[in-house]
Amino acid sequence: MKRIDKIYNCLVEKSKTLTLQNLKEKKGFSAGEISADLGILRNNVSMELNNLLRQDKIIKLKGRPVLYIDKAVVENLIGYKLDKGFNVLEDINQLIKEEKSEKKDLSPFHSLIGAHSGLRNQIEQAKAAIFYPPNGLHTLIIGQTGVGKTLFANTMYKYAKFTKRLEEDAPFIVFNCADYYNNPQLLISHIFGHVKGAFTGADSDKEGIVEKANNGILFLDEIHRLPPEGQEMIFYFMDTGTYNKLGESERKRKANVLIIAATTEEPTSSLLKTFLRRIPIIINIPNFEERPIKDRLDMVKFLFANEAHRVNKSIKIQADAVKALIGSVSYGNIGQLKSNIQLVCAKGFLNSMGDKEFINIDFKSLPSEIKNGFFNLSSKREEIEEVSQLIQSHLMILPSGHRNSIKDDDYEPPFNLYKIIEDKVALLKEEGVDEEYIKKFITTDINIHIKSFYDKFKNTSSGRNKILEIISEDILQFSEEVKSFIEKKFNKKLSERFLYALGLHLSSFMKRMESKSPIHYENIKDIIKDNPEEFNISLEIKRLIEERYHILVPENEEIYLTLLLNTIDENKNTDRVAIIVLAHGTSTASSMVNVAKRLLGEGIVEAIDMPLEVSPKKILDQLIEKVKKLNTGKGVLLLVDMGSLTKFDTIITEKTRIRVKTIDMVSTPLVIEGVRKSNLFNMDLDTLYNSLKNFKGYGNLTLKEEKDNDKEKAIITICSSGVGTAEKLKQLVENIMVNLTNEKIKIIPIGVQELNKRIDSIKNKYSIIASVGIINPNIQAPFISLESLIGGNGEENLVNIIQNKKITLKPKYTHTVVKELCEDSLKQFLTFLNPSKIISVLMNFLNVLEENLKKNFDNAMRIRILVHVGCALERMVIKEGLIYKQDKRKIDSYVLKSLKIANQVINNSLNLTLNEDELFYIAEMLEDHIER
């Protein structure tokens, strides 16, 4: 028996002697006790106990001495299962207190947030559905993705048992109709079962979920995915309580089942009328933004409490961070909020690992996409004021209180992020990695884990269908490609709102080119100067447009795209031109505004419907109040249909002293374009008005324009001084450019102190195409940081800049930065091999490896691979190769095959070859960088 098994068995046997009272008295077993019992050295026992802790088999009680107990024994004593990874405690009594609190005789609905406020009516409907004689009423729950439809249905089931309408062991069967919607026959078989021979492959009789749900509840999620024939069979079953299996001709089977269905769609458009008539109770669960602000704040507290419990640490959240989280929810409702909170908690945990008291989450540390939620909420003055009244400077969430959530929660990640963070931090520290780099590395890792998990819940199909009513499929598809390209290349997360805004912009741009009416900006230089990174990205988008549509994009369009990209700036100004849409009819204006809001999110835009019988005077009074309420200081634009409405602007300005302009002949595309530009581009009233008054809708095109620059091209390099390091950086960039192109490009080194003095004179003489160095000079050219050039993708960025400037590239170039830095590093490590001689072979090895893996590593990873391979070759020369001791079966065979092909390059050039064990080590190194 292994040592770890002996220690674990010993702890299990000792733990079995404990009672609940022992736990209350903080009884447990130390490493010293187990060491004495087994005759194993104490430090070896401690090491194995820590291994068992990582395997989540035992519980560790902090204190002196540290005590251990078998986790399964504790769960048996307290009466419920603990979260995975929840195994390090200050005091085990908190678990026992939680167990007691759950015995209160309260209705299951009592625990739902909003039970006495935002969900009160829905709960009354649910209770009526459960109590209606003889067996309850079939129910349809409507709501967007992530509002909690499954939780609500599950609570109805618990309530039915709580009130004895169902037996305690009554089944609750959950079925998602989307799982089989492409195969109606298989779907119906799954619901009702089938008999042997019903279809090819039906080798035996099969029980359906209706049969399994007998005398209980059947929850049919995404019911709109059920084909018409399936809906007909369900409503016949509702009518008669009888059904037949697939392959049977007579409906002679019976089941007593209460059906609860759920859908994200409008029922009248997605379900048969005959089916809907059988469902007397329809419960509409409001989305997150429709819930009272107190409910939303309670959800934030509840989700933070879950994380505090999971990590067993208090969490302190700054008030502005809470506001940002509340405002950050757009597409995913409570599911998205949960994702965002787990993300910020994980990052807070990483940043607070040295702090034993609590995890601190402040506004400054939030990701930019969550920070933007603060600005979204700021535009709703009443809500932001209410939140401010409910919380003062911060929230403090304690780790006490056990989670009360449904079993197998889809939104519960199948991994413990905090454990992942702890393990990886420990591993990187052992490797001697710098603390700042550890934080950056783990932050990226956190994003990957959470976002890859939650992306599957993001449902934007309805938004996509709506946008396709306005722009072409080709434009939208191209916009999706551009979004994906930017996210990968520049490591920026862009919202769906950005996607739709880009699609609308491209359609508008095509239309403008067709009518030869481009937009002119007065302040172009300032826009570029203030947003150099966005400008750099806009050049890439411009290139992609030109390649896709074979046109020359005007230079001004770069400014437009820069403004669009600036919408993801976390510190953007929230003062915007307000828009009010007025139109005759009972819902004309509201319909147009609703479409705009669904596509682009909340903006400062509201509708006033003007029924024909209402007097203009009454509408004017209403409009004046609305203008006062919405104005943020930048004025108001009225979009109206006709008649007296066009004359309102001057009257309102006189009475309120707020600038108001009017555009008539309003249409849905005009409203969308107005909200888009006001929301995203932060235009002033005159610019917005001028850009919209000749708006012709969204359309297609072809076309051309040329630009030229006669000045000699230059790249400036910036270091702390104009000599020394700056000259070395200049030499490095010169070597890169010689490798890239035959065209002459001047490299000019500048020290930080003389930057402002020299930059203007350089701009007068040269066309600066890029700057490289330790500080961004904020000029009208892309900037590449020294870190990016050395460790990231700075060299590839230079290639793109060269291409955008229509400079001819050499047919093939090597990674100059990688080559030079590797050669310098290997000079320190190698004794027998000459780094200058083998560096070209190593570069060929890397090229072949990247080509076979279809992967472009960043410079940091390239350098790491090449230095490792160089050292491995030296080990081959002196016959001291490493021996791989881990499980070789876990190594990716595809990666290993690619390494063997690259290894052949070394063999052909040096008559040396890396042995299989060395290849295994390299494959393991590549594991986290290869997506399979």
Candidates 370, 335, 348; CA nearest to 454 is 335
The pTM (predicted TM-score) of the whole model is 0.45
Handedness of CA 283, 288, 292, 297 (dihedral sign): positive
Residue 595 is predicted with a pLDDT of 74
Q: Where are the beta strands (DSSP E) in 285-347?
A: 314-318
Cβ atoms < 10 Å from Cβ of 837: 10
Contact 530, 777 (CB under 8 A): no
Sheet order of strands, 172-176 included: 172-176, 216-221, 257-263, 139-142, 281-284
Residue position matching structure tokens 């929840």: 86
- Alpha carbon 232 to its chain centroid, in Å, reads 39
Q: How far apart are CA 830 and CA 78, in angstroms?
A: 60
SS3 578: strand
Residue 823 is predicted with a pLDDT of 77
Provide the 8-state DSSP code for 585. B
Contact 342, 450 (CB under 8 A): yes
Mean pLDDT of 570-584: 72
Helical spans, DSSP H, in 657-723? 668-681, 685-693
Contact 80, 402 (CB under 8 A): yes
Candidates 122, 333, 141, 130; CA nearest to 223 is 141
Residues in the chain: 932
Q: How far apart are CA 630 and CA 635, in angstroms?
A: 9
DSSP 458-475: ---HHHHHHHTTTS-HHH
State both tokens at 715. Answer: 């790249």
Residue 697 is predicted with a pLDDT of 66
Q: How far apart are CA 289 and CA 291, in angstroms?
A: 6
For the cut 50, the answer to whether the pLDDT of residue 707 exceeds it is no
Helical spans, DSSP H, in 79-119? 93-101
Rounded to 5, what percent of the chain is helix, strand, coil? 55, 10, 35
220-238 pLDDT, tens digit each: 998 988 877 778 888 888 8
State both tokens at 828. Answer: 């320190």
Residue position matching structure tokens 């001819």: 808
Confidence of residue 18 (pLDDT cuts 50, 70, 90): confident
For the cut 60, the answer to whether the pLDDT of residue 450 exceeds it is no
Q: How far apart are CA 150 and CA 555, in angstroms?
A: 51
Confidence of residue 804 (pLDDT cuts 50, 70, 90): low
Contact 525, 566 (CB under 8 A): no
Contact 120, 114 (CB under 8 A): yes
Average pLDDT of the chain to the nearest whole number: 78
Sheet order of strands, 358-361 included: 358-361, 314-318, 394-397
Confidence of residue 696 (pLDDT cuts 50, 70, 90): low
Q: How far apart are CA 799 and CA 813, in angstroms?
A: 10
Please report which helix (H) or strand (E) contains residue 583, including its range: strand 578-584
State both tokens at 446. Answer: 């956190």
Candidates 310, 329, 309, 327; CA nearest to 319 is 327
Q: How far apart are CA 747 and CA 763, in angstroms?
A: 13
The mean-pLDDT minimum among 568-572, 591-595, 714-718, 851-855 falls in 568-572
Q: How far apart are CA 717 and CA 759, in angstroms?
A: 11
Residue 403 is predicted with a pLDDT of 46
The three-point CA angle 873-877-878 to 5° equals 120
57-70 pLDDT, tens digit each: 999 887 778 899 99
Pick 2 or 555 by higher pLDDT: 2
Q: How far apart are CA 526 and CA 330, in angstroms?
A: 32
Task: Kindly give the pairing relationship between strand 206-207 and strand 193-194.
Answer: antiparallel
Confidence of residue 466 (pLDDT cuts 50, 70, 90): low
Q: Which residues pair with 258 in a beta bridge?
A: 217
Residue 139 is predicted with a pLDDT of 95
Mean pLDDT of 255-266: 91
154-177 pLDDT, tens digit each: 999 999 999 999 999 999 999 988
Contact 570, 555 (CB under 8 A): no
Q: How far apart are CA 153 and CA 172, in angstroms?
A: 10
Please report which helix (H) or strand (E) contains residue 60, including its range: strand 58-61
Confidence of residue 702 (pLDDT cuts 50, 70, 90): very low
For the cut 50, the answer to whether the pLDDT of residue 405 exceeds it is no
492-511 pLDDT, tens digit each: 667 666 777 777 778 777 76
Mean pLDDT of 376-388: 78
Pick 494 or 28 by higher pLDDT: 28
Provide the 8-state DSSP code for 119. T
Candidates 531, 576, 544; CA nearest to 681 is 576
Residue 734 is predicted with a pLDDT of 83
- Whole-number percent of the chain with pLDDT over 90: 12
Q: How far apart are CA 456 and CA 646, in angstroms?
A: 47
Residue 209 is predicted with a pLDDT of 92
Phi, psi of 145 (to 5 degrees): -55, 130
107-146 pLDDT, tens digit each: 889 888 988 888 989 999 999 999 888 889 999 999 888 8
Provide the 8-state DSSP code for 380. -
Residue 276 is predicted with a pLDDT of 86
Q: How far apart are CA 132 and CA 127, in angstroms?
A: 9
Residue 523 is predicted with a pLDDT of 47
Residue 416 is predicted with a pLDDT of 61
Candidates 854, 846, 786; CA nearest to 819 is 846
Confidence of residue 375 (pLDDT cuts 50, 70, 90): confident
In the chain, what's the furthest Cα-to-Cα distance?
A: 97
518-552 pLDDT, tens digit each: 555 444 555 666 677 778 888 888 888 888 877 77
SS3 617: helix
Phi, psi of 576 (to 5 degrees): -135, 165
Q: How far apart are CA 752 and CA 895, in angstroms?
A: 45
Provide the 8-state DSSP code for 553. P
Q: How far apart are CA 136 and CA 153, in angstroms?
A: 14
The mean-pLDDT minimum among 255-259, 384-388, 749-753 falls in 749-753
Q: How far apart are CA 500 and CA 478, in angstroms?
A: 11
Candidates 371, 403, 448, 396; CA nearest to 307 is 403
Residue 94 is predicted with a pLDDT of 63
For the cut 70, the answer to whether the pLDDT of residue 703 exceeds it is no
Contacts of residue 149, defined as CB under 8 A and 6 or more positions apart, other chains included, come to 141, 143, 221, 262, 285
As a whole number of Å, the CA-based R_g of the chain is 33
Pick 338 or 249 by higher pLDDT: 338
For the cut 70, the answer to whether the pLDDT of residue 849 exceeds it is yes
Q: For residue 31, how many C-alpha atoms fall within 13 Å in the half-sphere facing its CB?
A: 22
Residue 147 is predicted with a pLDDT of 87
Mean pLDDT of 75-91: 73
- Alpha carbon 411 to its chain centroid, in Å, reads 13
